[in-house]
Chain A
Amino acid sequence: EDQVTQSPEALRLQEGESSSLNCSYTVSGLRGLFWYRQDPGKGPEFLFTLYSAGEEKEKERLKATLTKKESFLHITAPKPEDSATYLCAVQAWTGTASKLTFGTGTRLQVTL
């Protein structure tokens, strides 16, 4: 059974204080690993897809990296508007490739 574990559950940073969120996974044949951002009262919003170990993707202050067992979402010099819950999900190679397994998320708060 595919599993995704995210840590920490919650993280509080001051503006400009860089940090990383972790997503560890077990999956029988990784098709893709996905990062989403979710604001309170809203649906998740897609950020990145990573397909193979060593791959990196960047968007503004966010950079996602992937190894064979985990992914990191690095946040450089965060701003208050980066406050959100960040979700990680994996998709395995199956007959239908229809199922994403989500982690429970890291709730990030960035203060002034």
Chain B
Amino acid sequence: NAGVTQTPKFQVLKTGQSMTLQCAQDMNHEYMSWYRQDPGMGLRLIHYSVGAGITDQGEVPNGYNVSRSTTEDFPLRLLSAAPSQTSVYFCASMIWGTGELFFGEGSRLTVL
């Protein structure tokens, strides 16, 4: 099992550009989520999904879009990148309700 796979690992964007961070899991977890991690801020929840076709907003959803068409995939879209979105992004999945998150290795995004 690969667990949670994120691509790309590194990305540099210019302000206003759009892009998609990919996330896939092979553990058949219902729950998937996206976090961002910034120095001194801890992990903050952006969006989450409790199953295919169901998504909801987390703590910091503005500027991001998600969709969940399959159990395995949960892409995060940046619609118009801003320097404030410079961060490390983590995708995580879990068995519904347990709280035991399985994280990907992260995607480091820099917006110039």
- Bound complex: CA A100 to CA B103 (Å): 13
- Bound complex: CA A31 to CA B104 (Å): 24
The majority secondary structure among interface residues of chain A is strand
Query: Counting CB contacts under 8 A, is B64 at the interface?
Result: no
Q: Is the CB of A46 within 8 A of B101?
A: yes
Q: Please tell me the size bucket of the interface on B.
A: 20 to 34
Q: Number of A interface residues, CB 8 Å?
A: 24
Contact of B106 among A4, A42, A45, A102 (CB under 8 A): A42
Q: What would 30 A/B residue contacts be, using CB atoms closer than 8 Å?
A: A32-B99, A34-B99, A36-B101, A41-B106, A42-B105, A43-B4, A43-B90, A43-B92, A43-B103, A43-B104, A43-B105, A43-B106, A44-B43, A49-B98, A49-B100, A87-B43, A89-B43, A89-B99, A91-B99, A96-B50, A96-B56, A97-B97, A98-B33, A98-B50, A99-B48, A99-B59, A100-B99, A100-B101, A102-B42, A105-B42
